[in-house]
Amino acid sequence: MTDHPPSAVEVAFRRISAATVTDVCDLSDTLSDEQRAMVADNGQSIAEAHFSENAWFRAIYADDALAGFVMLHIGADHDDGIDCPGVFLWRLMIAGPFQGKGIGRQAIALLVRDLSARGITELYTSYGRGAGSPEAFYRRLGFEPTGDTYDDEVEAVLTFAR
């Protein structure tokens, strides 16, 4: 992953509670139509996570402002439609007003730090191509296509040191 100067904003993951779930779901409305076609609404993601034995999800905060949503899938589970034996970045969304400010980059860096501390050295994801695609974002961070796909999405992996 490329090093960037530290941001003045502190990015953190926080549990989603009954008090914050509506606000997290409403973040999906801040995306462009093209972006919404590329990532499931946060409400759908949270529902899917509650029916998966392998999901981990959090709200992303920039300082004290709710800025996004992240969800990982840990371990292959054909019932979830994810055939990845490692850690898969199932969902990442940064609210429209927070895009282009390094929040997504910092969220990925925080994931890498935490996964590395657990001895994990790879993070997989997938993305669609076309208008609204996050491909350029992932490529800038060092994700490389694996040559495989998930349905019609390109699978990519970020490899990092422990």
Residue 2 pLDDT: 45
User: Tokens representing 1?
Assistant: 């992953």
**Domain range for 125:** 11-159
Q: Tell me whether residue 5 is in a domain.
A: no
DSSP string, 64-104: TEEEEEEEEEES-BGGGTB--SSEEEEEEEE-GGGTTTTHH
Q: Tell me whether residue 2 is in a domain.
A: no
Q: Tell me whether residue 1 is in a domain.
A: no
Number of domain units in the chain: 1
Residue 3: Cβ within 10 Å count: 6
Query: Contact at 8 Å (CB) between 51 and 36?
Result: no
Query: Contact at 8 Å (CB) between 15 and 58?
Result: yes
CATH of the domain at 108: 3.40.630.30
Along the 162 residues of the chain, how does pLDDT read in single tens digits? 444 455 589 999 999 999 999 999 999 999 999 999 999 999 999 999 999 989 999 999 999 999 999 999 998 777 777 777 789 999 999 999 999 999 999 999 999 999 999 999 999 999 999 999 999 999 999 999 999 998 899 999 999 987
Q: Which residues, including other chains, have CB under 8 Å from residue 159's CB and lie 6 or more apart?
A: 121, 122, 142, 144
Between CA 47 and CA 123 the distance in angstroms is 23
**Cα atoms in the 13 Å half-sphere on the side-chain side of 127:** 23
Give the β-pairing of 55-62 and 144-150.
unpaired
Q: Tell me whether residue 6 is in a domain.
A: no
Residue 7 pLDDT: 55
Q: Tell me whether residue 15 is in a domain.
A: yes
User: 125 pairs with which residues across the strands?
Assistant: 89, 156
Terminal C-alpha separation, the chain: 13
Between CA 61 and CA 10 the distance in angstroms is 8
Residue 100 pLDDT: 95
Q: Tell me whether residue 3 is in a domain.
A: no
